[in-house]
């Protein structure tokens, strides 16, 4: 028995490592025709004895996590590219050991930690700080001027000064085509371990807590705050100055116009607690 690839159940061959999501009887039916010899599964899965003769099942409380670690360890390789010769780096920038910078990326007066990976055609503007092991996807802009205006006596718009910076702590990952504005007077801060998806907008003075996920198309408006261990779903928007507590979920396309307490799940437009949303739907169905 040997493995040399990781694939889906439908695409597996006789040398594949696979992961199965379910643990009910339907999974057995799917496995009958699957030739994969090594299978990561839920610990609740009852393995038929006849499948044990030529297969290895690895049971886990969290099979997705275990599968991820196995694949990352066995099959994901990284070829160091160093700093691309077309990258433009300020003489005042501080770049940590082991950091890689892609083609046509611009680094202004920034402090960048060790072992970071910055993609192609990125722009990191003045007063941006990256911790260690930070990933920035291609075409992302960090430290751009925020969007905030006041009207003068003639009704014309005057840009509020944005002279703060951006602080991105260790182990943060930022996707492609994402924009993170610098603070107006303070800093925009992304705390340790958070993961920011592609096409996300994070405005001036936003604070994102540790180990939070902000998914594609989400918008965090100026001075909003998101706590730790949160999930901000695709297309969600948190209004200026509003706070999302720790361990919260903001649903798909939700528009947050009020502060959300710790541990809550809010959905809808405007967003409300999921229980209130369901009760409103049920009431409408009865009318």
Is 204 labeled as catalytic in the residue annotation?
Answer: yes
Q: 56, 54, 24: which is closest to 40 by C-alpha?
A: 56
Scanning the structure block, which residue is given the tokens 């998806």?
A: 197
Backbone phi, then psi, for 274, in 5-degree steps? Answer: -60, -35
Marked catalytic residue, from 15, 78, 204, 211: 204
Longest Cα–Cα distance of the chain, Å, equals 83
- CA-CA distance, 232 to 245, in Å (whole number)? 12
Q: Which two tokens stand for residue 14?
A: 């006789």
Close Cβ partners of 121 (under 8 Å, ≥ 6 residues apart): 102, 103, 104, 105, 138, 139
Q: Active-site residues: which are they? A: 204
């Amino acid at each position: 028995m040997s493995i040399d690839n990781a694939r889906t159940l439908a695409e597996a061959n006789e040398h594949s490592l696979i992961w199965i999501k379910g643990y009910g009887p339907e999974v057995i039916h799917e496995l009958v025709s699957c030739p994969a010899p090594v299978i990561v599964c839920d610990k609740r899965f009852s393995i038929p004895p006849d499948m044990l003769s030529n297969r290895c099942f690895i049971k886990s409380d969290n099979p997705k996590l275990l599968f991820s670690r196995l694949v990352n360890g066995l099959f994901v390789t990284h070829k160091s590219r160093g700093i691309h010769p077309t990258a433009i780096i300020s003489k005042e920038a501080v770049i940590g050991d082991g950091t890689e910078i892609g083609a046509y990326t611009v680094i202004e007066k920034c402090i960048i930690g060790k072992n970071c990976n910055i993609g192609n055609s990125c722009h990191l503007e003045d007063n941006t700080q990256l911790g260690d092991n930070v990933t920035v996807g291609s075409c992302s802009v960090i430290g751009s001027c925020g969007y905030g205006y006041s009207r003068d006596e003639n009704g014309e718009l005057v840009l509020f000064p944005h002279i703060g910076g951006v602080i991105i702590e260790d182990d943060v990952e930022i996707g492609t085509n994402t924009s993170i504005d610098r603070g107006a007077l303070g800093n925009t801060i992304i705390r340790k371990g958070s993961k920011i998806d592609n096409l996300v907008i994070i405005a001036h003075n936003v604070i994102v807590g540790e180990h939070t996920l902000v998914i594609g198309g989400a918008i965090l408006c100026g001075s909003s705050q998101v706590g730790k261990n949160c999930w901000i779903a695709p297309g969600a928007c948190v209004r200026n100055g509003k706070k999302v507590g720790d361990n919260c979920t903001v649903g798909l396309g939700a528009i947050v116009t009020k502060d959300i307490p710790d541990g809550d799940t809010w959905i809808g437009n405007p967003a409300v607690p999921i229980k209130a949303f369901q009760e409103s739907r049920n009431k409408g169905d009865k009318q």
